[in-house]
Structure 1
Amino acid sequence: MSRILVLDAHPDDRSLCAALAERYAVGARSAGADVELLALRDLDFDLDLRRGLRAEQPLEPDLLRAQASLVAADHVVVIAPVWWGSVPAVLKGFLDRTLERGWAYRYRDNGLPQGLLAGRSARVIMTTDSPGWWLRGLMGDSAVRQLRRSTLRFCGLRPVPATRIGPVHGSSAEGRAAWLEQVADLGRRDARRTPRADKLMPVVRVPAPVPDVAA
C-alpha cells in the first residue's frame, strides 16, 4: 500500500486549493492508498528561521510530527497557489523550518548536496490566475521551479511532476468541477504506483517530555 502525504498550503480553508487537496485525497484513498492530509494553516509554529542557519531553532511539536509524516510517506503532494511568482508565507515558512540541514539534506565533503529524503516521489499542484503561456514563457515558471528543483529535488525526492490549475479568476463552476475531477484522477493514478524500496530514513526528532510542574 502506498503512503501519501498531501500538504494543503493555502491559508484559507475555503479556497480552491483546499478543495483540490480534499479531492486528491479522496481519489487516492479510493485506489487503496493510505493518505494523510495536512493543512499547514492548522499547524502552530514560527514561520521565521530566526537566525538563519547560524544556530539551531528547536522545532515545535507540530513540525516534529510533520517530519515524521514526511519520513513515513512514499509520495508527497504539495498543493498551493502562485502568489507574486512564489508561494504563500505559510508554505515557505514550513519548508524553511521543517527541511532542516542535516535532516532533509547535507553537503558532502566535495561540497555537493545530497538529498536525505531520497526514495520518495512528489507532485506539485499549483493554482494560478495567470495563463500558462505567461507563467512559463514570460515569468520563467518561478514558483514551480522553486518547489520542484530548488526544494523537493534538492532534498532527494523524484520524480516531481507539476500540474498547473487555472486561470482561476473568472472560472466557471463547470471549470472548477473539471479541475477537481482532474486532481482526483491524479490521486488515483499516484496511489497505484509501486512504492520505491530505496527510501532513505532520516532521524525523526523526538520532542523532550514536558515536565509535570505539579509533581
Structure 2
Amino acid sequence: MPRTLVVIGHPIPGSFNHALADRYVAGLRALSPETPEHEVRVADLAADHFPHDPRTAADVRAPEGDTSHLDDRIAGWVEDLRWADHLVFFFPQWWGTYPAVLKAFLDRVMLSGVAFRRGRGHVSERLLGGTTARVFMTMDAPVLWNALVYRNAAETSLTRATLTFCGVKTVGLTRFAKVRFSTPEKREAWLDIAERLGSNDAGLRHRRPAATAAVAVTAPVA
C-alpha cells in the first residue's frame, strides 16, 4: 500500500466529505489490514487549525527543503507531503472552485523548495515526480453545468495548475453531483464508490525518480 496523505478540504466537521474520506481509508486498509496505522496520514482541515495567510515571502518558501522557519503545523504538513507517495483530496465545490481552507493549505504547504524549484527564466523543476493523486469533489450543480458554465474550474486549478506543475500524476477524479438533492440510498452508493477506489489504490506502486523533469511554465508564487 502506498504511503497516503488524505486531505479533507471541508471547513465544517462531520461533512459528507468527511464520511467519504473515512470510507476511502477503510477501503485502502481492507486489502492490507496488517499495514501500520502510520502508513495513512489525514489532514482534516476542519479540525487542524493553522495560520492561513503568509506574512512574508519566507512563509511560502523552503530553501533547499528547510522548514525550520515555518509554523509547526505547516512544517508538519510539509513533512507529510514529502513522505507521501499518494495524495487524496476531498472537497466540496463552493462558488465554482473549492473552499478557502483548501486553497490556504495548498498555498502554505506546496512550497518552493519542496514541491517545485525555480529555475532560470520561466523554467521550474518538479520536485514531486513519482507521486500520484486522487481527487473527490462534491457539488450541487449538475456535471454538465459544471463543465459548460464553470469550465471545471475547481478540478482544473487543482490538478493542472498545482499538482501537474509539481510533478504529481492524477490517477482519478470523481465528482459526486447534486448532493443537496440526493437520497440516502444515493449517498450510500457514493460512499461505496469511495471505499472501492480506496481498495483499488491500495495496489498502487510508486518509485520516486532519481531526477525530476523541468516544466516551462510560470511559477505560482510572485
In the superposition, the TM-score normalised over structure 1's length comes to: 0.86
For the structure 1 residues 80 and 87, does the alpha-carbon distance in structure 2 shift closer, same or farther, using more than 3 Å as the test? same
Correspondent of 1:84 among 78, 90, 95: 95
Q: Provide the rounded CA distance (Å) in 1 between the counterparts of 2:129 and 2:190.
A: 30
2:76 corresponds to:
65
Alignment correspondent of 2:7: 7
Q: Tell me: CA distance 1:153–1:178, structure 2 relative to 1, closer, same or farther (3 Å).
A: same
Query: What is the TM-score with the length of structure 2 in the denominator?
Result: 0.84
What is the Cα deviation at residue 200 of structure 1?
7.0
Correspondence for 1:24: 24
Contact 1:105–1:113 (8 Å) recurs in 2: yes
User: Which residue does the alignment assign to 2:55?
Assistant: 50
Q: What letter is aligned with 1:62?
A: R
C-alpha distance in structure 1 between counterparts of 2:23 and 2:129, whole Å:
27
Q: How far does the alpha carbon of each residue in 1:5-57 deviate from its partner, in whole angstroms, 9 at most, with x for none? A: 11111111211101001110110011226322220222232111234xxx212
Paired residues, number: 198
Structure-1 separation of matches of 2:76 and 2:171: 23
Residues 90-105 of structure 1: pairs in structure 2 closer than 5 A: 90-105=101-116
Q: RMSD of the TM alignment (CA)? A: 1.7
- Aligned twin of 1:156: 167
How do 1:111-150 residues align onto structure 2 when only pairs under 5 Å count? Answer: 111-150=122-161
Q: 1:41 aligns with which of 46, 60, 67?
A: 46
Shift of 1:169: 0.9
CA distance in structure 2 between the partners assigned to 1:66 and 1:108 by the alignment: 25
After superposing on structure 2, the runs of 4+ consecutive aligned residues of structure 1 that deviate more than 6 Å are none
**Distance change (3 Å), C-alpha of 1:94 and 1:19:** same
Structure 2 residue runs of 5 or longer lacking an equivalent are: 60-68, 213-222
2:94 aligned counterpart, secondary structure:
coil
Comparing 160-169 and 17-26, the one that deviates more: 160-169
Whole-Å Cα distance in 1 between the matches of residues 11 and 183 of structure 2?
A: 23
Indicate the SS of the match to 1:38. strand
